[in-house]
Amino acid sequence: RREVVTRRTVFNLRKARERGHVLEGLAVALANIDEFIRIIRESPTPPVARSELMARPWDSQLVREMLTRTRADGGIINADDYRPEGLERAFGMGGDGLYRLSETQAQEILQMRLQRLTGLEQDKIVAEYKEVMGEIDDLLDILSNPERVSTIIGDELTVVKQEFGQTKLGARRSEIEHNAQDLATEDLITPTDMVVTLSHSGYIKSQPLSEYRAQKRGGRGKQATATKEDDWIDQLFIANTHDYILCFSNRGRLYWLKVWEVPAGSRGSRGRPIVNMFPLQEGEKINVVLPLTGEMRSFPSDRYVFMATSMGTVKKTTLDEFSNPRKAGIIAVDLDEGDFLIGAALTDGQH
């Protein structure tokens, strides 16, 4: 903690010296304002004016008094204590009591607004200069006095204790719930209606429904997706981002997919191969997808999935038997050798 206070004090001291250096230049300019204005008016360009201001020494009683004053303890201050780091010895107060401006000071004088020449603004510059000089004295005293560092540490820890300690002021304002639920990725997904498209060759993507709008008479329509010459849109449906999609493979396996997991794409993109989204075996592909929207979202037991194979085998399974998603998928229908699933549909069991 002592190192933190020391490093902070050194930083504040550097900033105060830099500000004090600028104010010294302004104080010198105010003490010789008529001559400064004459030089600036007669100079053809700002760089020439800056060089002229830096080329000659200037007299300022205020600056000379501040840099040669006597301390409260009777000692004489050291003018070097107020110099910014890296400032060349040629600039600042010389042994003859005259002041030589640095490039930084000359530039600040050239950029000074005319309104700062009013009596009130001049008083503000002088007051700020004296305030910064006092701040530098205080920071130097902190660095030279370890007891002051200890006092500052004690005061800061007292403030921390009052603000965050077990007091009336620092009492805990929040309530900790030990049974709070963990947030999953899905909890951060905004419910949104999406248009999901699946091409014949197995490219799937989703787009916000808001990208589509009703066309007026004579409208040309909008392209839903880009496809190759030998490919076409096999399925297109609207579902919410939190809805499930049941994906059946030709091997009779079932995989689950949330709509928000479907890759988003623009109207001009093909999407992503759906086979890359599941741990499929060699030769296995997704050939049926069933979106669970509306009343189907809760996997009701009075709804069914009807499946059919290429050899004529059919099977009806209640929807609630598919309500426990598994990443590796499950066997939805057993197939004989050489048989494969060709279709699946949702039904109420009445047909």
Question: pLDDT tens, 227-239?
Answer: 667 788 888 999 9
Strands (E), 90-218: 92-93, 99-100, 193-199, 203-208
Query: Does residue 170 carry a pLDDT above 60?
Result: no
Among 68-82, 253-267, 331-345, the range scoring the smallest mean pLDDT is 68-82
Identify the pLDDT of residue 225: 61
pLDDT bin (cut points 50, 70, 90) of residue 129 is confident
**Which has the higher per-residue pLDDT, 196 or 216?**
196
Query: Does residue 156 carry a pLDDT above 90?
Result: no
Identify the pLDDT of residue 64: 82
Phi first, then psi, for residue 241 (nearest 5°) are -60, -20
pLDDT bin (cut points 50, 70, 90) of residue 215 is low
**Which has the higher per-residue pLDDT, 298 or 74?**
298
Identify the pLDDT of residue 167: 63
pLDDT bin (cut points 50, 70, 90) of residue 97 is confident
* pLDDT tens-digit map of 103-123: 998 998 888 877 766 776 778
Identify the pLDDT of residue 224: 57
- pTM (2 d.p.): 0.48
Residues 305 and 332 sit within 8 Å (Cβ to Cβ): yes
Return the domain boundaries, the chain: 2-164, 189-211+225-347
Query: Does residue 312 carry a pLDDT above 80?
Result: yes
For 76, the 3-state DSSP assignment is: strand
Average pLDDT taken over every residue of the chain? 85
Note every long-range contact of 172-179, with CB atoms under 8 Å and residues 24 or more positions apart, other chains counting. Answer: none
Domain covering 2-164 assigned CATH 3.20.20.70 in the classification: no
Give the list of residues 6+ apart from residue 45 with CB closer than 8 angstroms, or none: none
Domain 189-211+225-347, architecture per CATH = 6 Propeller (2.120)
